[in-house]
Structure 1
């Protein structure tokens, strides 16, 4: 039952993520709002990468970032970031569909070389916070990046200022 709810949200929100990533023009990839922020490329690539964390989050009780390796691929073009997203989201969907609900309340934590990075919590909290809400947060940032670079923003939860009413 929990899995079906997670899967429904996953599918709906993956489509929203797809819309926002497809709205990025190559001309905006190097833009960042300040020296402290990521570029559009880095932010969009990170959004695509979050879907790569599903296997380690759903299927392990300890995610060791010290041994984690991820190939971002060629992120010099927006279409390549979208392609990486598509690859990662397909794998994430399979992980979610094949997940065992009986493990959702196991304790989960993230470590890096033996040091706790993300404190222990029930896996379901991590799924909602670390995977889902984390992604929505960064997607919101990407909306601001698009708007700040003069690009159109697709409607995710209804029309935007770019849509004609």
Structure 2
């Protein structure tokens, strides 16, 4: 059985999406299919075929979310004592050794990752390079543009 590491926030977001799909989206699709059926010949009924396709996507996403939640390993970082070590769920501030550019990332599960919000997947190259390191450690991360050296300047365990 594959365990999906997930923050408590990420698990809550998946539960909200699941409820939305079950209680709002699915009934809307069923109603759209019923309405399209009333239009007659299903072979050339674009609305019917679009609704059926939407239903397939919805059901697939429902199964995906249910599987992930049933195999979720929910990690509440705020309940772990901070020893300065980078672990799943931690918020890490790093500085580029060459440019002094500073950036803060939170290491989260694959479904929660959103680079625009500085949420990086635990399986991303940056996160893999950070996990297990400590404050003041220097790391080298291979990027498409070459290897970049960073120093870890802060590690927080915040939810």
Same fold (TM over 0.5): no
Select the structure of larger CA radius of gyration: 2
Structure 2 length-normalised TM: 0.29
Structure 1 length-normalised TM: 0.28
Structure 1 or 2: more strand by fraction:
2
Structure 1 or 2: more helix by fraction:
1
Identify which of structures 1 and 2 has the higher relative contact order when contacts are C-alpha pairs closer than 8 Å and 6+ apart: 1
